[in-house]
Amino acid sequence: QFCDKGHSYLAAIFVANETERAIAEESKRRVVAMFPDQKVVTPILDASTFYPIKGSESYHQDYYKNNPIRYNAYRWNCGRDQRLRYIWGDKATH
């Protein structure tokens, strides 16, 4: 979760059908195999209706695109990139 903590920031994989569920489960199995000493707790959940943020809170959408300088400062100060590089090495994409 890096700097952001709480239920709203937990990771999850949302699937729309059994094909997506099988792909998600296989992906999760590969991650578990890559990190045998770690507990992988990311749930695989059925997708439901998604309601995009509208109105006064919509500035949160695509924050990284709309505020790249602030977002990059946030990432650096959280240690996000450094942690991802530590975990994934050259495979880290951020």
pLDDT at 94 exceeding the cut of 80: no
User: Tell me: the pLDDT tens digits for 12-65?
Assistant: 999 999 999 999 999 999 999 999 999 999 999 999 998 888 888 888 889 999
Q: With bands split at pLDDT 50, 70 and 90, how would you rate the model's confidence at 1?
A: low
Residue 46 is inside which H or E element, if any? strand 44-46
Listed by start position, the domains of the chain span 1-50, 53-94
Contact at 8 Å (CB) between 72 and 65?
A: no
Angle formed by the axes of helices 68-78 and 80-88, nearest 10°: 60
Q: Which residues pair with 46 in a beta bridge?
A: 15
**Maximum separation of any 2 CA atoms in the chain, in Å:** 44
Looking at residues 60-83, what average pLDDT do you find?
Answer: 90
Contact at 8 Å (CB) between 93 and 85?
A: no
| pTM (2 d.p.) | 0.68
